[in-house]
Amino acid sequence: MESAIIETDFLIIGSGLAGLNSALEASKYGPVVLVTKSDLEESSSYWAQGGIAAVLQESDSFQSHISDTLKAGRGYCNQHAVEVLVKEGAERVKELIDLGMPFEKNGDTLHLGLEGGHSERRILHADGAATGKAIIDFLISRIRTNPNITVLEDAFVYDLVSEENRCYGVLAYLYKTDQSIQLQSRATILATGGYSGLFIRTTNPHTSTGDGLWLAYNHGAVLKDLEFVQFHPTAFYTKKGGIFLISEALRGEGARLFNASGERFMLQYPQAELSPRDLVSREILKQLELQDEKFVRLDLSHLDAQKMRKRFPGLINKVEAHGIDISKEGIPVAPAAHYCIGGVETDLNGLTGIEGLYACGEVAATGVHGANRLASNSLLECLVFSKRAAEHAKDHKSSIKRKLYQAQELLLSPDLAEPFLYQKRVATKLLNRYAGIERNREGLLSALEQLNNGLNSALYRHGHEYYFIRMREMLMVTERIIRGALAREESRGVHFRTDFPDVKYSELQAIRFSKKRGTEAGRSYRNEAVL
């Protein structure tokens, strides 16, 4: 059966902040189709509990925010990208405010919080710690009423439509109608998020499996810095495995970390609990290795409990639903995979190495975060680079190539669901055990060996089937994460090698993967404007 064909000027894949904002920006210049594999509310941005950083007061400065970002990035940031992020980010946030985005205020003044790694109070929040949800809800209301935007939910994108290094759209499978379709576009923007959903213990939704990475990689784009996976220090811990993010904003308001012996272990550092995330995560890991309990406690008992409940209503309600009285006991927390710094290599307009294909948000690797993302820079990144991608795409749209090729219809075989889930469990266990906060050569080689059987069976099977494609590509991304970690023989930012504990400041290298060239190490782009 011939696939249905839908044509549009702009095609956006993903419904996080980068996807929604790029859709709204692109809609000013032509018709947009926005595709998401679940519903509009299912994204990492929607779950984001922190805030959004921006220089908005006279006591703060662009240079201060830039300096904090570069310091957190451990000498590996693209400095030009950081300058773009900070300077344009303030404008993007002001635009949101002008549109009516209800950020929290103290009277008529914006309430600005403090988070780890920041030297000034510059973090905006909305609805307590549920800033991501508040922004997404705000933008979704505008998406739903925009006549230039068509939304396709519950759609799995399984391939790009491309020829001669030019992207003309994608192939997608619609779950509800069991139908394969071709979406042909003049510009395609990947905003599919990261891949930390591949880890067992993660703050991300299960949909964060790196789809945009393999879609672009399979057609010639370069993957970069996949080994840099940021672990959030404070994710809620239960023996049953229930996980949700405990916002860094709590530490910004004075919450303290204690080990099982009641020691406030972060006092050895000048910024204490507000040290950069990589440092806090590693220190918590040390405490877990020294004690029997698999968590430390984030204590709020010295703070005004009623004020905290009012300030962070949704978050405190979730905590207290587990029987924890924040006025009397600490919240059990442990690190969890949270944010992927690596992704599809792009320039500062979101353009990949494939003409007509852009990437923005967590799926993209612009170099803005270096080796460790500064808290609350991720939502800012989504706003800044999604607008840049849409603005650039409006002037560089390709012509549509009608019926470029006859696409084979995607099959869905329910009997392959369990083998896929088994392989996913294997991959997630390997990542958690060998590619977590601390790694070493012996463990990473063991992970590759164990992954090899599943990878080979997936790569060399034939069939145009849903679970098979997901299995094959999930294993490919997992392997690239592990190989990137193995190739980076240093400890930098979120990447800590116990067998290479020092940072090689004289050898700033990016670990890249190209389907054409294989694995490649090269210098960083920290001082370059574009690739």
Q: Which residues are catalytically annotated?
A: 277
The encoded tokens of residue 409 equal 């219809």
The encoded tokens of residue 181 equal 């379709």
Distance from C-alpha of 424 to C-alpha of 437, rounded to nearest angstrom = 20
Q: Where are the beta strands (DSSP E) in 191-330?
A: 223-224, 229-236, 256-258, 296-299
Work out the widest C-alpha separation in the chain, in whole angstroms.
Answer: 67
Evaluate whether 80 touches 529 at the Cβ level (below 8 Å): yes
C-alpha distances in Å from residue 530, one per residue of 84, 350, 388: 12, 10, 13
Mapping DSSP to helix (H, G, I), strand (E, B) and coil, where does residue 268 land? Answer: helix
Mapping DSSP to helix (H, G, I), strand (E, B) and coil, where does residue 479 land? Answer: helix
Distance from C-alpha of 256 to C-alpha of 522, rounded to nearest angstrom = 40
Closest CA to 199 of 363, 456, 479, 424: 424
The encoded tokens of residue 395 equal 């002037």
Please report the DSSP string for 163-215 in residue order: ETTEEEEEEEEETTTTEEEEEEEEEEEE----SGGGSSSBSS-TT-S-HHHHH
The encoded tokens of residue 154 equal 């519950």
Distance from C-alpha of 201 to C-alpha of 119, rounded to nearest angstrom = 30
Q: Residue holding tokens 């921006």?
A: 54
Q: How many CB atoms lie within 10 A of CB 284?
A: 23
Strands 123-124, 112-113: pairing kind: antiparallel
All residues at 6 or more sequence positions from 337 whose CB lies less than 8 Å from its CB, including other chains: 196, 198, 199, 201, 202, 203, 204, 229, 230, 231, 431, 432, 436
Q: What's the per-residue H, E or C state across 315-328?
A: HHHHHHCCCCCCCC
Q: What type of residue is 48?
A: A
Phi and psi, residue 303, nearest 5°? -100, 165
The encoded tokens of residue 339 equal 């944010």
Closest CA to 156 of 411, 461, 398: 411
Q: Which residues in 64-88 are b (16+ Cβ under 10 Å) and which e?
A: bbbebbbbbbbebbbbbbbbbbbeb
Q: Residue holding tokens 């840099």?
A: 228
Q: How far is residue 478 CA from its own chain's centroid?
A: 16
The encoded tokens of residue 479 equal 């392997």
Evaluate whether 359 touches 216 at the Cβ level (below 8 Å): yes
Compute the Cα dihedral for 429, 433, 439, 444 and give only its sign. Answer: negative
